[in-house]
Each structure stands twice: as structure tokens, then as C-alpha cells.
Structure 1
Amino acid sequence: MSSEILSVLEYMEKEKGIGREDMISAIITAIKNAAAKGVNAGQELKITIDPRHGRMNAWALLDVVDSVSDPKTEISLEKARQIDDELNIGDVYEKEIDPAYLGRIAAQTARQAIMQRLRQFEKERIYDDFKDQVGDIVSGIVRRRERGDLVVDLGKAEAIMPSRDQVPGEDYSPGERIRCFLLKIEATNRGPELILTRSNPKFVLRLFDLEVTEIADGTVKIEAFSREPGYRTKIAVSSTDPKVDPVGACVGARGARVKSIVRELGGEKIDIIRYFEDPKEMALEALKPAVPRNVYMDERNRRISIEVSEDDLAIAIGRKGQNARLTSKLVGWKIDIMKQEIKEVSMETKQAEAAQGLNQIEGIDAATAERLVNNGLISPELFLDVEEEDLAEMGFSSEEAADILAKVKQFLQSQGISS
């Protein structure tokens, strides 16, 4: 039996990482509990196991009494004195017994209890090994799928990536190495369960933390972020050092840093923008390269309405409204993006407005202004190169032409415009 125990101890220590002392304690407790249910029921035992050789010794603990009522737990003073004359009533006599006497049933029950204790040790070890890695990126090998969840081997334990934490479009094959974010250790009836994610925004933030030294040392800070896994991520960054460009630091030389993160995310687009405290400025920055035409703020309802040209509308809204949604999450305000309405102005209206402008020149009446506009002279500045002969060709007399040019010249001089 010693060799069997020794082999168990060695296996547990080498393969499972469980110390001998812990395993010995578990074996002793299991054997005591099992023996108490068998032929040794009611008897108190003392058991030791040599950690080096695996040798087991056992004793029955008997109370020294004057009159014996239960021979399994008591021994008479007279009989005890025959063995050790220093024993007295109230002392405990340790009677050595053959470990085999504990019985086969006790050994079998103990084996089951040992396996149960082993599982408990493994559960405790999983928590101890991974509790400090929660919130960090871990690497493992894909093993299998179970009801949509992905089982990943992290070396010391298996972890689960629920379907909700997987990225749409990513395909994971058994044997493939994968990097994930250790989201939490969840307590279940089966023990601690490691929960992984690749869809949580924290995964992207941790990648930036590892890739961008300025973020790791606190020089650059990610102020806001939003993500649609597998499609697009937006982050807003600021810098505590005015000499450091936060966007440039995240992008890296020739885009090296952000490209590395994009590769890890399977080609997911990443927009990095400068952070502004003003939600209006943040929204406009996040929607670039779309150019806003009109912006309306509703601070009470935390809503921003932005008008863009028809050409910029698709860019601003994004595929299936994705860009607008991510911008809204990033800013924290509801964003409405609309096409700018352009009112068509008739030629007659334009001519009337131009004539009204010429009519401001003192001495030029509405009829004269309309005649001038109909001939293309729609603003006072256009008279700088006009001579009397040009007006005569338009049907004005020499006197009318001279009078018009004089009044226009006087008006231009009053506006600080010289011919």
C-alpha cells in the first residue's frame, strides 16, 4: 500500500501541482471518514503517512477508564497498566493497528474522497493561478465548442468564451492559438470558471495599453470609446503633455501601432480622434471627413442635430448607421444626421435681389437698377471696368451713362473701393 500512496503523492505533486503535505492531509481525512462508516464505526483513529516513503501507520485511540462500556473507544485501567504503567484514568492509549484492518470498503471510499478533494484542490488552484490575471490578455489554444461556447486551453486550466463574447465573423478552429481578455472568474456549482472575451471594448483598450507606451505610462489617456465588435471602434484620446500628440502616439510611425492592433482584431476599423470636453466639437471631430453645414444643440435633451451635404451623408451615417451610432456612444449625446436642404432660387429672384443691391446707390432708381442687372451689372464692383460707351450700348444716353458712373464711383469711394 505504501508504494500506491507514494505513487499518488508523486503524481499529484508533478502533474497537478498539489503539495505532498496538502495531499497527505486530504488522504488521512478521507480514510478516517471512510473508516468511521465501516467496521471501525465509532472508533477514533490516528493516522500518519510518511511523505518520503508513503508508509502509513494507524492507531486506535482508546480512553483509559475504570469500567469499560464500549471496547471500541475505551480500555480499562488495569489492562492499560499492563502495557504502560504510567497511564492513568482520563489518559488516551494509542493502540497500533494494521492499516489493512481498515478494510477494503474504507480504502475504496477513501479513493473517491481523494478524487473529490483533488478536484477541490484544482478549483482552488485555478482561482489562485488566475485571480491576478483578470483584466489582462491571456493566450491559449482552442479545444472545442460546447453549445456555442468556445473552450480554450490556457495551459493550467480550461476557460470558456461564451457566444456573446465572440466577435461576429471570426472563425475559431481546434488547435488554433488565440488571444483573449480574461473578463472574470465566475463562481459556479462546478467551481470557478474562467470567462474570456474578444468582443468586450476592454479587450481593445488593453491592446492599446500594451502597444502604446504613452498610454501605459499615463501620458496619453483614453477618455471615451465605443465599439461594434468586428466592424469598427472609435476612441477619443487626450494628452497630459502638450508636447505629445495623443492621436499620433496611438497611430505610431507609419501607422505601425494601430496596424498591429487592427491585425489582432481581424481587420476591424479603428478611428482615433482627439478628445474635446465640448460635445459639439467631439461630435464634429468624430464625424470627419464629413463636413457639417449646420449644427443645432438641444442641451436639455442632450441631442445634437447635424446637417451635411448629400455627398457627405453616407460618410457621416456610415454602413447601416454604424458611424452615427458609434459617435453617439462616444459623445454620450443623441446624434441626428440629416441632409442639408438647399432651396432653389429662381433667376427672377436673383435678379430682383441684385437690383435691390444696386438700388442702395443714391440716385439710382429701381427701374435703372433693373436695366443694369438685366445687362449683367449685378453689383457695384462690376462698374470698375465699365465706361460710358458700354452703358450706351445698353440703351442709356450719354447723359444717363455719365450720371450713373458718377453716382457709382461716389458710392464705391464711400465704401473704400477705388477704381
Structure 2
Amino acid sequence: MSKELLGALDALENDKGISKETVIDALEAALTSAYKRNYNQAQNVEVAFDDKKGNIHVYAVKTVVEDVVDPRLECSLSDALQLNRGYELGDEIKFEVTPKNFGRIAAQTAKQVIMQRVREAERTIVYNKYSKYQDELITGEIERQDDRFVYVDLGKVEAVMPKNDQMPNETYRPQDRIKVYVNRVEDATKGPQIFVSRTAPGLLKRLFEEEVPEIYDGTVEVVSIAREAGDRAKVAVRSNNDDIDPVGTTVGPRGQRVQTIVNELGGENMDIVQWTEDPAEFIANSLNPSEVVDVIFDEENERACTVIVPDYQLSLAIGKRGQNARLAAKLTGYKIDIKSESEADGLTEDVQEDSDDAIDNE
């Protein structure tokens, strides 16, 4: 057993990167528990593994005392001095108590410890590898699907895509290649759990980094993203170079760059808008393709505003089922109330009448 165990420890260190010392420490702890369990011994016991010869020794550790009360834990000073004249009260002495048949138990324990350490090491390797991919884009292959998840093969590990991270306009077929966004990596007991998404705004940002060199190198910056995955998205961009138009650069010649991303996402429509430091201008840009006449900020709530649009563009500004307004609010971080010019004029007249009445009553 000694040669086999030494060979196994060398293989673990060379092949799995698990240090021999780490396994020996775990093995000695496990053998100590096994000895106490199998031999019904409650004394203070230590197990030592000889990493040169592969031998295992069990020692009972006893404290030197004047009068022995518990012989399992204590040794008299007189007995200790017979062993070595240098012993004093309070010293600890190790007595070898290795059972004759302890080799069988040691072999079983060693096998369990090694298997456990291998599993832990493999889990750590996978976790360390894929935790680096968090918030990144990665390509995998669809394995299967059930009521809860789509399972994606990332190579040596399987990722899961929950329902709310699946695109409503996509069908996931086994063996299809797919780009997914790594939402999070959890170090679970049974192994790392990798959660991926097709609906996260981060997916869209990484796709633009892949497709637009100026975004990848930081010349053009994606400031914010609002998505209703599979249907429509708004992306706010700004340029860190005055000579580069961020919107035109992102859209690309004849719209080719943005069209590549639209195709990747199964036809999800894209509005690319320019971010500016002026909140009113940014809010107006966010409601593209609608024109904006004015942006009036709420005096009581600095993150709320009323946007005035031409009468004939009210429906366009609000969008189908309110989608354009909803995405604009997400993109800008403002609560947006959209009104037509006629509605705004009516409100102004009502305010003026109330003001006149107040003057008349004075």
C-alpha cells in the first residue's frame, strides 16, 4: 500500500496540481478520526504519514503528570523519566499504538481522501476558470432543455440558462452554437454553477464590443442600455474623440454593424442614440424616432419630467404598448410623462385661469 499511496500522491501533484502536503494533512486528519471510530479510543491521538517510505504510524499523546488520573491521556513522571531523563511535568510524550490491521482501514481512508481532494481540485479549477468569464460573452453548444433551464455545454462544464434569461423569440435546439452572457458563477457544493443569459443588457454591450472596434478600444463608449429582449433595445453612446460620431460609428456603413447584432438576436430592433451631459437633450434623443418640442423638469422631483411632442407624433413617441416611452425611461433613468402640444397648451391655459382667479379673489 505504501508504494501505491506514494505513487498516487505524486500523480495528484503532477497531474492535478494538488500539493502532496495538502493531501497528507487531510489524510492524517481522516486517519485519526478512523482510528478513534474503529477502535473506540477517545485518547489524544495523532497519525503521522512518512512521505518517504509511505508508512503510517498512530501515536497516543500523553501528558506527563505527578499522579495519573486518566492513563489514556496521562503518563506519570516516574515512567516518563525511565524513557528519557529529560522529561518534565507538562511535557507530552508520543507512544506508538498502531494496530496490526490498521493498513486495511488506512487504505480505504486514503482512497476516500484522495477522491475527495480530486473532486475539490477539479471543482476549484472549473470555478477559477469560469469566474473569470463573469460579465463576459462566451460561445457554447445547446445540450438540452427542460421546464426550468436551457443547458449549454461550455466545453468541460455545463451552464444553465433560466427561463427569464431566455429570448422569447428564440428556439433552442440541441447542438446549436450560441453566444451567451455569463451572469454569475456560484461555487456550489456539487460543483460550480454557471448561469448564462441571452436577455441581459450586458450581452448587448459585449456584442457591440465585438462588432465595433471603436467601442472595443474605448473611443466610443456605451453609456447605458435598455432592453426588452427579442423585441427592441435602446443603446446610448458617446464619443471620447470629437472627430468621431458615436451614433454613425456604432451603426456602421449602411447599418451593417448594428444589423449584424440584430441578426444575432433574432431581429431585435435597435435604437442607437447619442448620450449628452445635458439631461433635456439626452431625454429628447432617447425618444427617437419621435421629435421632441420641449422637456420640462418637475420642480418637486428632479428625476421626473414632462416631454412635449408634436400632436401627430404622440403615438410614435409613446410607442406600441408604451414601449418607446418605457425604454427611454430605463435608458435615461428619468420618469417621463409624454404629452402632445395640444395637451400641453390646455394645461397651460388651465394654469393661467387658476392664476387669474387667484388674482381676482384678492
- Normalising by structure 1, report the TM-score: 0.64
Q: In the TM superposition, what are the counterparts of 1:283-322 in structure 2 within 5 Å?
A: 283-291=283-291, 295=293, 297-300=295-298, 301-309=304-312, 315-322=316-323
Secondary structure (helix, strand or coil) at the match of 1:266 reads: coil
Structure 1: unaligned runs, 5 residues or longer: 342-419
* Cα distance change of structure 1 residues 31 and 176 upon mapping to structure 2, 3 Å threshold: farther
* Cα distance change of structure 1 residues 260 and 188 upon mapping to structure 2, 3 Å threshold: same
Structure 2 counterpart of 1:218, which letter? G
Offset of residue 166 of structure 1? 1.9
Distance 1:302 1:275 in 2: 17
* Cα distance change of structure 1 residues 43 and 224 upon mapping to structure 2, 3 Å threshold: closer
Distance 2:155 2:22 in 1: 23
In the alignment, structure 1 residue 336 sits paired with structure 2 residue 338: yes
Q: Which residue of 2 aligns with 1:178?
A: 178
Contact 2:273/2:288 (<8 A) preserved: no
Q: In the TM superposition, what are the counterparts of 1:262-281 in structure 2 within 5 Å?
A: 262-281=262-281
Structure 1 counterpart of 2:220, which letter? V
Distance 1:17 1:159 in 2: 25
Q: In the TM superposition, what are the counterparts of 1:352-367 in structure 2 within 5 Å?
A: none
Contact 2:135/2:184 (<8 A) preserved: yes
Secondary structure (helix, strand or coil) at the match of 1:244 reads: coil
Offset of residue 201 of structure 1? 0.8
Q: Which has the larger radius of gyration?
A: 1
Q: In the TM superposition, what are the counterparts of 1:68-87 in structure 2 within 5 Å?
A: none
Q: In the TM superposition, what are the counterparts of 1:14-413 in structure 2 within 5 Å?
A: 18-39=18-39, 40-48=41-49, 50=51, 55-63=54-62, 65=64, 88-89=87-88, 90=91, 92-93=93-94, 95=96, 97=98, 100-101=101-102, 104=105, 108=108, 115=115, 118-145=118-145, 147-186=147-186, 193-291=193-291, 295=293, 297-300=295-298, 301-309=304-312, 315-331=316-332, 332-336=334-338
Distance 1:323 1:230 in 2: 15
Offset of residue 2 of structure 1? 3.5
* Cα distance change of structure 1 residues 241 and 48 upon mapping to structure 2, 3 Å threshold: same
Contact 2:44/2:73 (<8 A) preserved: yes
- Give aligned-pair identity as a percent: 36
Offset of residue 56 of structure 1? 3.7
* Cα distance change of structure 1 residues 318 and 99 upon mapping to structure 2, 3 Å threshold: farther
Secondary structure (helix, strand or coil) at the match of 1:31 reads: helix
How big is the alpha-carbon RMSD for the aligned residues of Structure 1 and Structure 2? 3.9
**Which of 1 and 2 has higher RCO (CA within 8 Å, sep 6+)?**
2
Structure 1 counterpart of 2:87, which letter? N
Distance 2:140 2:20 in 1: 29
Structure 2: unaligned runs, 5 residues or longer: 299-303, 344-362
- Normalising by structure 2, report the TM-score: 0.72
Structure 2 counterpart of 1:47, which letter? A
Offset of residue 280 of structure 1? 4.6
Secondary structure (helix, strand or coil) at the match of 1:209 reads: helix
